[in-house]
Structure 1
Amino acid sequence: MSKAAAPANPPPPMPTSREDINGTWRFLEWGVEQIMSHLDSGVDLRTYMSLYTSIHNFCTAQKAVGQTNLTSNHRGAHLLGEELYHRLNEYLKRHLQGVHAEMVKHSDEALLTYYIQQWKRYTTAGSYNNHLFRYLNRHWVKREMDEGKKDVFDIYTLHLVRWKEDMFGSTQNAVMDAVLRLVEKQRNGETIEQSKVKEVVLSFVALGIDEADSTKTNLEVYRQYFERPYIEATQQYYKNESSTFLAENSVVDYMKKAERRLDEEKERVPLFLLAEIMQPLMKCCEAALIADHAVLMRDEFQILLDNDREEDMARMYKLLARIPEGLDPLRNRFENHVRRAGLLSVEKVADQGESLDPKAFVDALLEVHTQYATLVQSAFTGESEFVRSLDNACREYINRNKVCAKNSARSPQMLAKHADNVLKRSTKATEEDDMEKMLNQVMTVFKYLEDKDVFQKFYSQTLAKRLVHGTSASPDAETSMISKLKDASGFEYTNKLQRMFQDIQTSKDLNSAYDDWLGQVLDKEDKKGGIDANYQILGTGFWPLQPPTTTFTPPPSIVKTYERFQNFYTQKHGGRKLTWLWHLCKGEIRANYAKLNKVPYTFQVSTYQMAILLMFNDSDNVSYDDMLAITGLQKETLDPSLGIMLKAKVITASPEGATPQSGTSYNLNYGFRNKKLKVNLNMAIKSEQKQEVEDTQKTIEEDRKMLMQSAIVRIMKSRKTMKHQLLVGETVTQVKSRFSPKIPDIKKCIDILIEKEYLERLDNDELGYLA
């Protein structure tokens, strides 16, 4: 308030009597008018103090009169304080009528400018008047409010109440329309005075007077008269804009625009709006910009998938994630797309039939998984529901594809073969990191296998052969793979695999002990004539090894060698029996009759081939009948073993080209030539491999029956009685981590257990447990 400037009009005289309401009000009204209408000049300090004193004198004089002449305490102060309060109230009404009459002459930005100017002037004056009438506030107003009068306010709040009732109701629509037009200009790219909107917001907030406590404000006025129309106008603006834009532009371009518009609205809030508007405002923008056009965007999703438009898919994901259930159709389409891509990828390699390369098959599975797992992370932020869709799709195409159409066990079988190739010494993985990467790829596919028991059987067989034949690329890699399987499927799943490793280590220790024993019991001559041999003792319950399919009479030199070991082992472990697995044994024979640069060739052979070739030490010509008689081999084993040696031209048939049969004889080929000094003749026999696969399948079926039966017994033991259908469902739940059981198979197992008197049938389709 300026001290230097003089009042615009001379003041009336100060009241001569302290009780003179008319004289007091004339003097006060002049002072209030100076404050309300002439803020720039205002009143000087001396005059201001005179005004303040006159209010004080008037109120205190009336208090004294009230105590002398009236029966009710302070009644006089009540009556005369009320008179002063009401005269100020009437003055404010008249003042605002003039302001309103001037305001209606303005429109748009001029209206906002005038509204804000008058609001600031009025509220500033209200603050000064509140201080001027402080004595009235402290005494009369306070007593009235304490007594629960709802229509009495402190002087500053009275100013706000008068503005709300005399100005706001008739101007707020015009003010709000001007605000909305201003904001629309900004949305259209024009620069605006944002402070104008901010001032209007603050004025609406200030008018939210709490009826229960006039000293507090609420947001009811702001919400009803600013927030609601602002949101409605925003929604309508974006409805119109989005429809127009989509009619002329692509969905991808629209998504970019929608994304930009949402960011703009979010950034606009802290500039001139209340933070409370953020949630409803964004919700309305999302409805107009996204929800109303969600169907169009979802229809575009398949095109984006087909063309690997990762960035656009990420944009669509972020937009549709903003609305309720916006992503569900996308997840379904993504799942179907990945499943189709996986099936198509497998189809490309499936035509090779039985000769299908396991690596090609697994690569076909992984190619699709890797592509879309990367997409889920980059475009869909690794969201759990999209991960679930990916998992569902991969589970489908890995377990139900063209390769396993006739045999559901083909996928796990092929994966086990691939793992075998990875872990064999011939693998191309030279670095440890490469090996670990390849093992992780195996585990990626393994995670989706439904028939994990099939993989376990075939994997344990290939592991057994790698360990027995010493063809593992790395013991660390083998251990790492078993550890991964253990983490994925539990201790029980890998228990036998770990025991196989223990047997190999025990066998190494045993061979060392045998060599020491041999050095003590044999003289130098005996050792010189013996065969250099290595033995592996494999526990019957842990190794998935089939017994030989043929009879066999080992050559005397082999008999002599293994009998020595047998004597040693029997002395060390008295109660154990050794069973020789001749079909898994192998060795090396030096061909002194055929040399490469004066160095004899070395043949790597099976024990059966060794027995055949040792017969040529006694004669250059051996008949087929003698081979059958001396080796004791069956024709199904002898013929393929001869076939490999014939193909390699180690021996020749007489007559030439004769098939293995009675009357055929075989000669050593003294003219044998080969580029390698070591020649491998120990090839797998296809008929034996086929038989092994069939035997494994039978074993799997038997194991599954036992697993289902044990699960049923466990369930019934804990429940005692159970409905048939519930028992079937619970059994499926318990065994599905190992394989996908068929309902008829479970019912057969229940019938078997009833026959064995583990279970009994009760009334109402219930089953009971028999202890």
Structure 2
Amino acid sequence: MTHTVNNFNFNDIWIKISEGLEHIYHSKKMSPNEYCEIMVYNCCTHARLQRNSLGRERISTRNNRQNNLHDRENAADAELYTKLKDYLKNYLKEIREKGLALEGDSLLRFYVKNWEHYHFSSKVTNGFCHYLNRHGIRQLYDSGRRDVYEIFTMALEVWLLDFFQTFQSQVTLACLQLIDVERQSGAINTQLIPTVVQSYIELALCENSLLPNNSDQITSSRLQIYKDYFEVPFLQHTKQFYRQKATDFLRHNSTSEYFKKVQQWIDEELYRVQSYLHDSTSVPLTEILKQVFIHDQLEAIYPEAKTLLHDKKYSDFIFLFKSVNHIKHATVQLKKIFEENFCPKGIESMERISTTAIDDPKLYVETILDIHKEFFQVAQKVFDNDEYFIAFVDKACGNFINHNAVTVAVDNARKSAELLARYCDILLRKRNKIKSEIDIDIEEKFNQIMIVFNYIKDKDVFEKFYSKMLAKRLIGKLSASKDYEESMILRLKHVCGFAYASRLQKMFQDVSVSEKLLDEYRKYSTKENIVDFSVMVVSSNSWPFSALPNFIIPTELKQTFESFTKFYIQQHNERKLTWLHQHSNGELQIFYTDKKYILRVSIYQMAVLLLFNKLSSYTVEQMQDKTQIKIDFFLQVLYSLLKSKLLTCSEITDNKIDEDYNKNDIKMNYTIRINENFCSKNIRLNLNVPCKSVEQRDIENLHRTIDGDRQIIIQAAIVRIMKARQTLKSALLEQEVIQQLSKSFESIIPSIKKCIDILIEKEYIERQPNEQDTLRYLR
């Protein structure tokens, strides 16, 4: 069809345009003038110029003539659009014929070369068709045409239908084969695959069209062509490639080595995505790799998961766990493996020290801290604070701290609380063996103690032992620092409240009051002829002490004791003064030897030794009668002096006393003499070692006190709850008591039931006549 309007001939103009297209698509040189002579603009504007002349014609005929010119304009634009499209089809047909016999790398290079040239040429063509895009194609669209796009979009559509569809399967396969070569450490042309991928993406991202909605046929799914024609085959090919490699590798290597290799494979594939493919591929690729490396190998991996935990290869275990996180049965199985095989590490550590740690608080507590530190480092760093692992590790620590090989060995669940209190005593005493290690980081040591303390269920047991040892440190002036003592008490107060630490704080107050009292006594006693004397007066309800039976105070000390008693009664007329002789000590000097030895002794040892100022020998019975020390305790005091070689007994040889001689083997008729030939390398000797019988009795009394106090605390809790509720089911009452007292100690149901029965007998509560499981408050 030929259009001729006032010297406008469409065929002549198209000849010019087609010549320009030949230059563009066949890479022929074109001067700027030749580019400007491409007459797309003339073809699109000639009819419009004709329409502008209508203003000079009669109004009555204007509308008809305008419609005719609009039709002629659209016809010219449509024909030009069609010819451009046909030209591109013919051009691609010629090229396509050249590539039909190609495959592999040759096909890939052929595709990439022609795509780059076609893409560039179409951009140039789109440039000189700017007026057609802006006006001509817009008018066609407005007139009802829905099969037109701006020229660059149309060029991509032609490539998609006439070229891409012919080669896409072979081109994709060639890319996948090239990737396999690289996976097997081969060298490849790294520019080919990204160009192919970019072509796939751009075919679906043709957003250059100015026509709204018109380009939706191509761009409605922005990456659909890439995903359908490249990503899907790539993922399927990747799955097949690695499935066999994973099985083979796991068959010949350990699980730990396998996970290292898996991580390497994953890193390589993700890097490949970053280098060649679209970023959106990384998510489905990761899932595919997890499926191949983890899910498909679970049955082979499960038995090895236990080994990973035993060998402390936690990063491999958590990699496995996170990889199957969305597979319920797999995570359940791995959690079970974790629970069964992670905690035994701590249990094994406690079993190794169970024999020695019973009497070694430092070893016991620091082993627990090492286990706790390891557990939580694993949970926080390796497991990335995963909620399940943190909760499980926390529960596991609570279990092994309160129930472990040491507590089982002594059949005493309270042992952890006792050993922790004794560890505090070691840290807070003067001249302790580890003082040099802890001076710098004492506050950190206290923080570590509180970690264990928070897990201890029997906090009341800790408080009893801690207060007992604090009392000994204060009485004996053995505290390393008052600030350290107060710092520790503040921590206990923060965790357990004021009531828990009030007695400990009261001890410090008593010490201050006692120091002032002693200063007053020294002023009072300046005129009296008494030995150098120091005393501490404390309140009986704040200190964990109980008095032993009285004994006959040596004559040399009697005046001093009577003097202070008289002074104290004058100061506090209504108070009773009870002497705690088991906590008293003093110094004696020996004058019957060449060296003037100074002996630090308990007051009981002093009473026995001072007897020899009058006579050089006594029978055991005579000594006990003169001192009136309880016989069992007396024999232990005597045994300690015999073992020190200050006293001798003809019935007991040195060899016997050096061996494990039993104090109970000492007979009442044995004769005891002062050892006038006593000799020692040291001038100052400390004989004031704790008496085992006293210590054992103190511990037994302490446990009885704990049991008695617990009964009172449980009863008080029951009364509080019943007073508030008036009536309550027994089971609910038991649960509320447990909840209220859980911070102090582990309330055992039988103990609660026993206390309920006691309160029923005391008529604080009663059982409902018709409902025996319901209790009612009476007072």
Q: TM-score range by the shorter chain?
A: 0.7 to 0.9
Q: Identify the match of residue 269 of structure 1 among 273, 276, 279.
A: 273
Q: Does 1:41 align with 2:29?
A: yes
Alpha-carbon offset, residue 691 of structure 1: 1.9
Give the counterpart letter for 1:595 in structure 2.
T
Aligned to 2:150: 154
Aligned to 1:550: 549
Distance 1:72 1:706, change over 3 A: farther
Aligned to 1:138: 134
Q: Does 1:200 align with 2:196?
A: yes
1:88-107 equivalences under 5 Å are 88-107=84-103
Aligned partner of residue 403 in structure 1, secondary structure: helix
Aligned to 1:700: 706
Q: Distance in 1 between matches of 2:121 and 2:357?
A: 95
Aligned to 1:30: 18
Aligned to 1:404: 407
1:61-72 equivalences under 5 Å are 63=51, 67-69=63-65
Q: Distance in 2 between matches of 1:767 and 1:91?
A: 100
Is the CA contact 1:36–1:122 (under 8 Å) kept in the aligned structure 2?
A: no
Is the CA contact 1:35–1:43 (under 8 Å) kept in the aligned structure 2?
A: no
Aligned to 1:57: 45
Distance 1:490 1:615, change over 3 A: same
Alpha-carbon offset, residue 767 of structure 1: 5.8
Q: Distance in 2 between matches of 1:171 and 1:273?
A: 19
Aligned to 1:453: 460
**CA offsets, 1:40-80, max 9 Å, x none?**
33575346434133323344157568954366994554454
1:34-433 equivalences under 5 Å are 34=22, 37-42=25-30, 45-46=33-34, 48-60=36-48, 63=51, 67-69=63-65, 74=70, 76-145=72-141, 150-208=146-204, 209=206, 212=213, 214=215, 217=219, 218-306=222-310, 308=311, 313-315=314-316, 317-318=318-319, 320-324=321-325, 333=337, 335-337=339-341, 339-351=343-355, 356-359=359-362, 361-362=364-365, 365=368, 386=389, 388-405=391-408, 406-431=411-436, 433=438
Q: Does 1:637 align with 2:633?
A: yes
Give the counterpart letter for 1:282 in structure 2.
T
Structure 1 regions of 5+ residues with no counterpart?
A: 1-11
Is the CA contact 1:27–1:51 (under 8 Å) kept in the aligned structure 2?
A: no
Aligned partner of residue 279 in structure 1, secondary structure: helix
Q: Distance in 2 between matches of 1:719 and 1:648?
A: 65
Give the counterpart letter for 1:56 in structure 2.
C
Give the counterpart letter for 1:739 in structure 2.
F
Aligned partner of residue 120 in structure 1, secondary structure: helix
Structure 2 regions of 5+ residues with no counterpart?
A: 55-61, 654-663
Aligned partner of residue 194 in structure 1, secondary structure: coil
More divergent stretch after superposition (750-759 vs 135-144): 750-759
Is the CA contact 1:605–1:681 (under 8 Å) kept in the aligned structure 2?
A: yes
Aligned partner of residue 243 in structure 2, secondary structure: helix
Distance 1:56 1:396, change over 3 A: same
Aligned to 1:3: none
Give the counterpart letter for 1:288 in structure 2.
V
Alpha-carbon offset, residue 335 of structure 1: 5.0
Aligned partner of residue 199 in structure 1, secondary structure: helix
Alpha-carbon offset, residue 534 of structure 1: 1.0
Q: Distance in 2 between matches of 1:214 and 1:35?
A: 28
**CA offsets, 1:115-147, max 9 Å, x none?**
222222333232233233322322243345467
Aligned partner of residue 37 in structure 2, secondary structure: helix
1:581-660 equivalences under 5 Å are 581-592=580-591, 594-597=592-595, 599=596, 601-622=597-618, 627=623, 630-652=626-648
Is the CA contact 2:633–2:693 (under 8 Å) kept in the aligned structure 1?
A: no
Is the CA contact 1:28–1:51 (under 8 Å) kept in the aligned structure 2?
A: yes
Q: Distance in 2 between matches of 1:494 and 1:702?
A: 19
Q: Structure 2 length as normaliser, TM-score?
A: 0.82
Aligned to 2:686: 680
Give the counterpart letter for 1:453 in structure 2.
D
Distance 1:281 1:579, change over 3 A: same
1:690-769 equivalences under 5 Å are 690-712=696-718, 724-752=730-758
Aligned partner of residue 740 in structure 1, secondary structure: coil
**CA offsets, 1:3-34, max 9 Å, x none?**
xxxxxxxxx9x975369675267436624642
Is the CA contact 2:427–2:435 (under 8 Å) kept in the aligned structure 1?
A: no
More divergent stretch after superposition (19-28 vs 33-42): 19-28
Q: Distance in 2 between matches of 1:249 and 1:107?
A: 38
Alpha-carbon offset, residue 713 of structure 1: 5.3
Alpha-carbon offset, residue 347 of structure 1: 3.8
Aligned to 1:537: 537
Q: Distance in 2 between matches of 1:698 and 1:52?
A: 109
Distance 1:617 1:132, change over 3 A: same
Alpha-carbon offset, residue 172 of structure 1: 2.1
Q: Does 1:462 align with 2:482?
A: no
Distance 1:49 1:770, change over 3 A: farther
Is the CA contact 1:338–1:393 (under 8 Å) kept in the aligned structure 2?
A: no
Q: Distance in 2 between matches of 1:735 and 1:495?
A: 18
Aligned to 2:502: 495
**CA offsets, 1:722-771, max 9 Å, x none?**
65444434443443333332233234344545666666667696666778
Q: Distance in 2 between matches of 1:759 and 1:207?
A: 86
Is the CA contact 1:412–1:451 (under 8 Å) kept in the aligned structure 2?
A: yes
Give the counterpart letter for 1:515 in structure 2.
R
More divergent stretch after superposition (491-500 vs 109-118): 491-500
Q: Distance in 2 between matches of 1:337 and 1:396?
A: 15
Give the counterpart letter for 1:420 in structure 2.
D
Alpha-carbon offset, residue 530 of structure 1: 0.2
Q: Distance in 2 between matches of 1:329 and 1:485?
A: 41
What number of residue pairs does the alignment pair up?
744
Is the CA contact 1:294–1:320 (under 8 Å) kept in the aligned structure 2?
A: no
More divergent stretch after superposition (636-645 vs 180-189): 636-645
Give the counterpart letter for 1:536 in structure 2.
M
Alpha-carbon offset, residue 323 of structure 1: 4.2
More divergent stretch after superposition (760-769 vs 667-676): 760-769
Q: Distance in 1 between matches of 2:139 and 2:723?
A: 81
More divergent stretch after superposition (75-84 vs 217-226): 75-84
Aligned partner of residue 533 in structure 1, secondary structure: coil
Is the CA contact 2:10–2:43 (under 8 Å) kept in the aligned structure 1?
A: no
**CA offsets, 1:473-517, max 9 Å, x none?**
444554454455456555544332233233323323332333234
Aligned to 2:517: 510
Q: Distance in 1 between matches of 2:692 and 2:112?
A: 96
Q: What is the RMSD computed on CA atoms of the aligned residues?
A: 4.1
Q: Distance in 2 between matches of 1:572 and 1:98?
A: 124
Alpha-carbon offset, residue 660 of structure 1: 6.4
Q: Distance in 1 between matches of 2:720 and 2:377?
A: 42
Give the counterpart letter for 2:215 in structure 1.
S
Give the counterpart letter for 1:287 in structure 2.
Q
Give the counterpart letter for 1:548 in structure 2.
A
